[in-house]
Amino acid sequence: MGLIEDIMAQQLWLQVWVGWMGFVNLSAIIFIRRIEARWVFVAMLVAFPLMNVLHAQFGYQRILGLAHVIGWTPLLVYLWLRRKHWDLSRLSGKWIMAVFVTDLVSLVIDYVDVARYFLDQ
């Protein structure tokens, strides 16, 4: 099975979560004139292909979280350092906050998953 098929075989809540992550991060294209959106886009260009490579190598395993760890950790550090530029009264500011919170929650899960993967080896 491919990565998408493996995701679609998971519980509904996980499918919804993955869909939300995709939606929020891919929304970068709407705000591409903002530097933060370009960073989100670059992080996706790192994480998504890497996740496919990891899936091809290991299958649907906890190690897939490594793609987010590598792609999103620098992104979240960068966004956090720019937090004074998040104008939450504007749609772009609300979007940056949504990306930050979504990717942070995902990263917590991913760091745990990657650690568990290596501890189980």
Residues 6+ apart with CB under 8 A from 86: 93, 96, 97
pLDDT in tens, 9-43: 999 999 999 999 999 999 999 999 999 999 999 99
Distance CA(106)–CA(24), nearest Å, equals: 12
Distance CA(1)–CA(74), nearest Å, equals: 30
pLDDT in tens, 40-97: 999 999 999 999 999 999 999 999 999 999 999 999 999 999 999 999 999 999 999 9
